[in-house]
Amino acid sequence: MNEKIKYSKGSLILPVRIDEFLYENFDNHYSVFYKRKGASLLNELCDKYGSDKGEIQKTGHPYSWPSHTYADFLERQFGPFRTFVKTVFECGLGSKNPSISSNMTASGKPGASLRVWRDYFPFAQVYGADIDKDALFNESRISTFHCDQTSSESIAKLWADIGDIQFDLMIDDGLHTFEAGVSLFVNSIHKLRDGGVYIIEDVIPSSLVSFAEFFTSKNYNYEFINLFRKDLRLGDNSLIVIRKF
Ligand SMILES: C[S@@+](CC[C@H](N)C(=O)[O-])C[C@H]1O[C@@H](n2cnc3c(N)ncnc32)[C@H](O)[C@@H]1O
């Protein structure tokens, strides 16, 4: 291996300080290098419904920023188990309201990612929540509810409204602050079934350290996933994945 390749950890988009934090604080890590080959249903569905979790087409999206590459990772995780996933929850529907934090801008498509999950997991019931009441909707195999993820009371009401359901997959694509992420997690992790997966999206490097301290102190089984795409520097293209087993 020549020097240039040895230094390839520098190709991570993380600032050096965070890069060093990861190497010092995690005993293990692995890298996965892949090329996209053949069809990718999950990326196609993101294009179809307008979620920024992935893309096939480079243009024509209802948002103006580069897509994430979460769909690539998620398809590798869940592709073989599509028919086994029966219950999905996502916080963050995709508000069009510019006065609401983390909105998808006025051209956004509320409910995009819930429709992606509904089509990708053919036997799943999909549940969603958002602080924007105007983004709520119900349609085939999708139900949505109001919730402010920064409020324990609001989250408790959400679970009372949804009822006695355990989830195979839970996704936090809401406000994206560390405090909001922890608030939703501590008030919702009891809803993840044994063997289920909980994903926090858009983890920015500066909140990674706080998340790492939080999950380590609680002894959770968690991973930090830094996704990378050639020629694209996305500072918020990282996930935290918590596995319940
Ligand atoms: C990035 S958008 C979600 C995009 C959608 N998941 C998709 O992929 O199409 C983030 C959403 O989080 C919602 N949000 C912001 N603050 C929130 C809060 N405190 N509680 C719940 N949802 C919140 C916004 O209204 C917005 O709809």
Where in the chain are the domains?
Answer: 3-37+70-243
167/147 Cα distance (integer angstroms)? 17
Give one DSSP letter per residue of 54-74, joined into a string. --SSSS--SSSSPPPSHHHHH
Q: At 49, is the secondary structure helix, strand, or coil?
A: helix
DSSP category for residue 10: G
Q: Closest ligand 1 atom to the C-alpha of 135?
A: 27
More confident residue, 33 or 89: 89
Percent of the residues in the chain that have a pLDDT greater than 70, as a whole number: 91
The predicted pLDDT at position 5 comes to 31
Q: Closest ligand 1 atom to the C-alpha of 180?
A: 19
For ligand 1, is residue 104 a contact (CB within 6 Å)?
Answer: yes
pLDDT band for position 4 (cuts 50, 70, 90): very low
For ligand 1, is residue 116 a contact (CB within 6 Å)?
Answer: no
For ligand 1, is residue 94 a contact (CB within 6 Å)?
Answer: yes
Contact 152, 50 (CB under 8 A): no
Q: What is the per-residue pLDDT across 184-240, written as a single tens digit (0 to 9) for each?
A: 999 999 999 999 999 999 998 878 889 998 998 888 899 999 888 776 665 778 999
103/92 Cα distance (integer angstroms)? 9
User: Rounded to the nearest whole angstrom, what is the distance from the C-alpha of residue 191 to the centroid of ligand 1?
Assistant: 20
For ligand 1, is residue 154 a contact (CB within 6 Å)?
Answer: no
Which residue, judged by its Cα, is nearest atom 25 of ligand 1?
A: 95
For ligand 1, is residue 130 a contact (CB within 6 Å)?
Answer: yes
For ligand 1, is residue 177 a contact (CB within 6 Å)?
Answer: no
Q: Is the pLDDT of residue 6 over 80?
A: no
Q: Closest ligand 1 atom to the C-alpha of 95?
A: 27
pLDDT band for position 23 (cuts 50, 70, 90): confident
Contact 72, 40 (CB under 8 A): yes
8/10 Cα distance (integer angstroms)? 5
Q: Closest ligand 1 atom to the C-alpha of 150?
A: 19
The predicted pLDDT at position 26 comes to 87
CA angle 123, 241, 47 (to 5 degrees): 55
Strands of the chain (E only): list them: 87-91, 125-130, 138-139, 142-146, 167-172, 192-200, 222-226, 238-243
User: Rounded to the nearest whole angstrom, what is the distance from the C-alpha of residue 15 to the centroid of ligand 1?
Assistant: 26
Global pTM?
A: 0.93
Q: What is the 3-state secondary structure (H, E, C) of 92-111?
A: CCCCCCCCCCCCCCCCCCCC
Q: Please give the CATH topology (third level) of the domain spanning 3-37+70-243.
A: Rossmann fold (3.40.50)
For ligand 1, is residue 92 a contact (CB within 6 Å)?
Answer: yes
45/23 Cα distance (integer angstroms)? 35
